[in-house]
Structure 1
Amino acid sequence: MFDLKITGGTVVDGTGGDRFSADVGIKDGRIVEIHRRGPGDAPLEGNATETIDATDKLVAPGFVDIHTHYDGQVSWDSSLEPSSGHGVTTVVAGNCGVGFAPVRPGQEDWLIGLMEGVEDIPGTALTEGISWGWETYPEYLDVIEKQEFAIDVGSQIAHGSVRAYAMGERGARNEPATPDDIAAMARIVQEGIEAGALGFSTSRTLGHRAIDGEPVPGTYAAEDELFGLGRAMAAGGRAVFELAPQGVAGEDIIAPKKELEWMQRLGAEIDRPISFGMIQVDAAPDLWREQLDISAAAHSAGSELYPQIAARPFGMLFGFPGHHAFTHRPTFRRLKAECDRQELARRLADPAVKSAILSEDDLPPDPTKLFDNMFALVQYSLGRLYSLGNPPDYEPTQDRAVDKIAAERGDDPLSTLYDLMLEDDATAMLMLPFYNYFYGNHDAIREMLTHPAGVVGLSDGGAHCGMICDASYPTFLLTHWARDRHRGEKLPLEYLVRKQSHDTAQLFGLTDRGVIQTGKKADINVIDMNALTLHPAKMAYDLPAGGQRLVQGASGYSATIVSGVVTRRDSVDTGARPGRLVRGAR
């Protein structure tokens, strides 16, 4: 009768309603029966090809991550890790105005440089890994549609690639768009939405730059361009206008408010959701609250503004495998060039080597290399650089800062930093939060998570390979916010499940998933909440061309199910690939 039965579990169905005991029957990739059970009630009748015993476990919808950058990774990685290891069953790529379609022949390397600069994905990995085989955005979707994945993949059409395709060098260099340019771009955007893009994305963040230092095309786009492309998106179908907005520059907090003003007018005109990244910044520590309230008021006035919020502090991870304070010390440079990873870890633990590195002056940074001055940032941030521990603590108190640990030990701060990075065979990573952690205050994040206008996003799955691994947000929401938080109020499990399943799916019009209901797509997690654990971030060396990336695993997912097929069992990939391209409403 069933392809799969899940029996004896506690269902948190994604609607935000109370949990209940039930068996779930699945057939042909859909949920066909939900059999509620009280004490002593008989189980769901009917045979099944496979039965999963979920006794004492949580049964929840698959999570929908709306902010990822798997645009290139779909070419070489059918597992789409790390997202697929954290209960995610659908991802949306193409965020922040960067993507790989449309592309004119010969323009491929430029798009790779744009993605490498903005999203810190090694260009060598993209060059070796991307298969190409398309020019237009509809052709790009057709290529993805032929592939099979562990999870479903949706895509947005990106302003950067559209502008460069339509305007050539003028578009790439952010020259003003003429009416003819806007019309040409509008045709491409509408065609992309009609082909199944889930949205259109752009970036106005000054920090988003290509590998050559140029801002993302569209960063300075005038209102006539933004509105022209927004109207084209709306003409193409049900889609989301996504952007990385202008942030606070120094003490100037006017720019973010101006962004909200035109977003409200655009949303009201095109009657489509507009979603923008929002974080707390130290220069204006309460601006985020004003942005949330403006967004809530906009909803009441008929304009759907959805701030995308992060589940934890927003920053970088530092350690010997990636960026750190000693990358420009001559002894470290020499050892890194001479040794493999295991030998390097052994040599770094030698007290004589440590003494030599600490005594040396830094070599000057290379101005032609992006992020080559990170060592100086670390050295001057020891009061905000935290030891995370195992399991990682993303709400550390000030006593976990490197300078405080050093004072406790009676040691030099850089010497203490060196020792902390030596832990776990020189693989330990420390966190420097730039945003969302004003003087260690995590309650701002809790308020963001509970605000009705906010939507969970900003995981950047697949991106910032040498700096972060926030694709683990879904697990963190359950472990930290629902179960483990002890430095403030927790949040209800039912609420957190809804925030990353029903709410994120609904924003992008994916109404066939995100809840456990009869007739819905059978994307489901079976979770042992007592065993659910977020592991420390570690550097992996598994990208094409030997590229490295930070990954963060989890345990406690007894099963992850996509379209009725078990893709992960006991947090291990089964090799099943039921995931497909998701096209939007056309």
Structure 2
Amino acid sequence: MTYDLLIRSGTIVDGLGGEPYVGDVAVHDGVIAAVGAVDGDAAREIDATGLLVTPGFVDLHTHYDGQAIWSDRLTPSSAHGVTTAVMGNCGVGFAPCRKEDHEVLVDVMAGVEDIPGVVMTDGLPWTWESFPEYMDALDAGKRDIDVAVYLPHSPLRVYVMGQRGADRAPATAQDLAKMRALAKEAIEIGALGFASSRLAIHKTESGAQIPSYDAARGEIEEIARGVVDGGGGLLQFVPDIPAGGYQPVLQTVFDVAEEVGLPVTFTLVVANTGEPTWPDAITMVEKANSRATAGSVVTAQLLPRPIGLIIGLQLTANPFVLYPSYREIAHLPLAERVAEMRKPEVRARILADKPGDGHPILYVAQAWDWIFPLDDDPQYEPDPSTSIGARARARGVSPMEEAYDRLLDNEGQAMLLVATSNLENNSLDTVGQLLHREDVVLGLGDGGAHYGMICDASYSTFFLAHWARDRKSGQFTVAEAIRELTSVPARVAGLGDRGRIATGYKADLNIIDHAALRLHKPVITYDLPAGGRRLDQSAEGYIATLVSGQIIAENGVPTPARPGKLVRGRKPAPVSG
């Protein structure tokens, strides 16, 4: 037989955790046609001797809702082996939305996801109003990887209730009936499920709580029933973790899910300090799953490295961004600002100042013992002795002075990592223990959001390099790591046609030089609409990434291929697989 592509003599990692083995993978018409010792020819052959051949990665938590409209490349994710990205997380997005509510949703996304308003107003054509029309807009676009979408709660609420929804007024019986009907419609035309958030720091750019923040149990239940009416799907939820642990709101969602028979996936974090709250969450998950029917299983999503921010003089946040004395010069071009900051009198004035009002997330830029330099070899499990606090103590200066000086490194282009969570006991040990659990899955990379503060969409590369190669304790085998990046998230999302190397499965594949896998330092680019700024991050070690059998990147260089599609609805596993 003649195939479209034949990958020869690679170390096949099947995605299910099976022992890797050397063999061939043949691709025809976008699917895996043969695996093992394959006879035949192909339009192209790739020699993968000594390289891993894996399924494409599935990222459960992204925010490419806008970028998937204005761009044909979903980077950083597609540069890190991701071939399917799930959007609409945290209950925020751009549909459904009436024309008069465009500014409301822009305000939400600018505040919650750090996407500049001008990027959205210039980058989005707003050719849709309903959620089905937005799905059609996605379907019409060309992009490098596949996308799937949740129905987001905040746009739904505003669409049904108008300003009352934005103001978080209680929903009436009529409102609830409309939400249920629209949820049913969304599932029927291909939404993977429904997403919502109760996180207190999820605020609009104008400072208000997001529309979904304190939605009542009855509202969650009616929307969930709409999901059931439409054929079922996944409930994604962000609890208000800093405001008092995972009870009782998360329990309410678990109870609703159990009652209607739907699975749930939610955000889990491990606090750096204080009384741990994650054990309570795990206990809740265990109890929920012990009672679960076939349709209602709970999973916690956890990032395999610290959740945090990247700060610097060119980015959204730095330790002085709320200081009036710094704001006086913040508008200056970088070189001029650096020159000003190096003046002794300016330095003294800024260091003696006090912060003004601003978004709550900006205040974490002074968590001195959890702020670390981020250099050309970025460390995401950093040595505590390298923190700004520790460096300041060693120098005999204040942490503010040390931070000020480090921000001026590299002519003001220095970046610092603020590790806000996941470093319990100054290590990732707890994170590793949790990720070995079947009810905890990888997620929270946030690709497509937090453009000026976060670049965690590269977590797949970090996980495979750090946890399955470099780390000496709590390590994952390569087979285990690939399973966590492929078949596990595919299963959670309900996408049974991918995440595995077997005949009949979608030919989303990676060819990886595991020994050479390396993350580069994040860089600032200005490739968003209206010249908007974002953080991007690349890697070495990806020899090729394929989507539907087409190579979208080779040796870190993107190709012209744009085979990515909108995934409409859950997918069964191939019969032949």
TM over 0.5: yes
- 1:74-93 CA deviation, whole Å, 9 max, x = no partner? 12111111111100000010
Partner Cα distance (1:337, 1:563) in 2 = 46
Aligned-pair Cα RMSD in Å = 2.2
Partner Cα distance (2:61, 2:341) in 1 = 45
Paired position in structure 2 for 1:305: 298
Paired position in structure 1 for 2:307: 314
Residue 370 of structure 2, aligned match among 384, 402, 427 = 384
- Indicate whether 1:147 and 2:133 are aligned: no
Paired position in structure 1 for 2:96: 102
- Indicate whether 1:565 and 2:565 are aligned: no
Q: Is the 8 A contact 1:358 1:414 kept in 2?
A: no
Paired position in structure 2 for 1:577: 562
- Indicate whether 1:81 and 2:75 are aligned: yes
Partner Cα distance (1:358, 1:328) in 2 = 15
Residue 355 of structure 1, aligned match among 335, 344, 349 = 344
Which amino acid is 1:299 matched to?
N
Q: Report the CA distance between 1:370 and its aligned residue.
A: 3.8
Paired position in structure 2 for 1:9: 10
Which amino acid is 1:182 matched to?
L
Paired position in structure 2 for 1:27: 28
TM-score by length of 2: 0.93
- Indicate whether 1:116 and 2:106 are aligned: no
Which amino acid is 1:136 matched to?
S
Paired position in structure 2 for 1:39: none
1:470 aligns to what SS in structure 2? coil
Residue 291 of structure 1, aligned match among 281, 290, 300 = 281
- Indicate whether 1:503 and 2:492 are aligned: no
Residue 262 of structure 1, aligned match among 215, 239, 252 = 252
Cα pair distance change 1:213/1:417, threshold 3 Å: closer
1:218 aligns to what SS in structure 2? coil
Q: Report the CA distance between 1:292 and its aligned residue.
A: 1.8
Q: Report the CA distance between 1:244 and its aligned residue.
A: 0.8
1:498 aligns to what SS in structure 2? helix
- Indicate whether 1:443 and 2:433 are aligned: no
Which amino acid is 1:70 matched to?
Y
- Indicate whether 1:463 and 2:456 are aligned: no
- 1:339-391 CA deviation, whole Å, 9 max, x = no partner? 3x4x44xx73x698253442113666564x646x93x653x422221123331
1:96 aligns to what SS in structure 2? helix
Q: Which runs of 5+ in 1 are unaligned?
A: 37-43
Paired position in structure 1 for 2:269: 279
Partner Cα distance (2:555, 2:478) in 1 = 21
Paired position in structure 1 for 2:124: 130
Q: Report the CA distance between 1:273 and its aligned residue.
A: 0.9
- 1:238-283 CA deviation, whole Å, 9 max, x = no partner? 310111112242xx44xx1223432332222222211111112357
- Indicate whether 1:324 and 2:318 are aligned: yes
Which amino acid is 2:80 matched to?
H
Q: Is the 8 A contact 2:341 2:347 kept in 1?
A: no
Partner Cα distance (1:57, 1:190) in 2 = 45
Partner Cα distance (1:404, 1:582) in 2 = 48
Q: Which moved more, 1:515-524 or 1:489-498?
A: 489-498
Partner Cα distance (1:571, 1:327) in 2 = 35
1:102 aligns to what SS in structure 2? coil
Paired position in structure 2 for 1:72: 66
Q: Report the CA distance between 1:424 and its aligned residue.
A: 4.2
Residue 463 of structure 2, aligned match among 456, 477, 485 = 477
- 1:7-60 CA deviation, whole Å, 9 max, x = no partner? 121011100111110111100001001124xxxxxxx32221111111111111
- 1:91-146 CA deviation, whole Å, 9 max, x = no partner? 01001111111111221121111111111111110110011111110111011101
Q: Report the CA distance between 1:437 and its aligned residue.
A: 1.6
Paired position in structure 2 for 1:40: none
Q: Is the 8 A contact 1:248 1:283 kept in 2?
A: no
Q: Is the 8 A contact 1:58 1:528 kept in 2?
A: yes
2:458 aligns to what SS in structure 1? helix
Q: Is the 8 A contact 2:324 2:356 kept in 1?
A: no
Which amino acid is 2:209 matched to?
P
Q: Report the CA distance between 1:550 and its aligned residue.
A: 1.5
Q: Is the 8 A contact 1:329 1:357 kept in 2?
A: no
Partner Cα distance (2:369, 2:137) in 1 = 48
Q: Which moved more, 1:263-272 or 1:204-213?
A: 263-272
Paired position in structure 2 for 1:48: 42
Equivalenced residue count is: 565
- Indicate whether 1:18 and 2:19 are aligned: yes
Partner Cα distance (2:545, 2:341) in 1 = 48
Partner Cα distance (1:556, 1:425) in 2 = 30
- 1:187-223 CA deviation, whole Å, 9 max, x = no partner? 1111011110011111111111112222111211111
Q: Is the 8 A contact 2:364 2:420 kept in 1?
A: no
Q: Is the 8 A contact 1:428 1:538 kept in 2?
A: no
1:474 aligns to what SS in structure 2? helix
Partner Cα distance (2:237, 2:111) in 1 = 17
Which amino acid is 1:156 matched to?
Y
Cα pair distance change 1:24/1:326, threshold 3 Å: same
Paired position in structure 2 for 1:405: 391
Partner Cα distance (1:25, 1:386) in 2 = 45
Partner Cα distance (1:416, 1:241) in 2 = 44
Residue 191 of structure 1, aligned match among 178, 181, 185 = 185
Which amino acid is 1:359 matched to?
A
2:35 aligns to what SS in structure 1? strand
Cα pair distance change 1:315/1:28, threshold 3 Å: same
Cα pair distance change 1:455/1:45, threshold 3 Å: same
1:264 aligns to what SS in structure 2? helix
1:433 aligns to what SS in structure 2? strand
1:257 aligns to what SS in structure 2? coil
Partner Cα distance (1:357, 1:494) in 2 = 55
1:50 aligns to what SS in structure 2? strand
Paired position in structure 2 for 1:521: 506
Cα pair distance change 1:338/1:456, threshold 3 Å: closer
1:582 aligns to what SS in structure 2? coil
Residue 55 of structure 2, aligned match among 61, 64, 69 = 61
Partner Cα distance (2:109, 2:177) in 1 = 25
Partner Cα distance (2:387, 2:215) in 1 = 41
Partner Cα distance (2:327, 2:211) in 1 = 36
Partner Cα distance (2:367, 2:218) in 1 = 42
Which amino acid is 2:349 matched to?
E
Partner Cα distance (2:141, 2:75) in 1 = 16
Q: Is the 8 A contact 1:329 1:360 kept in 2?
A: no
Partner Cα distance (2:328, 2:161) in 1 = 45
Partner Cα distance (1:173, 1:352) in 2 = 41
Paired position in structure 2 for 1:536: 521
TM-score by length of 1: 0.92
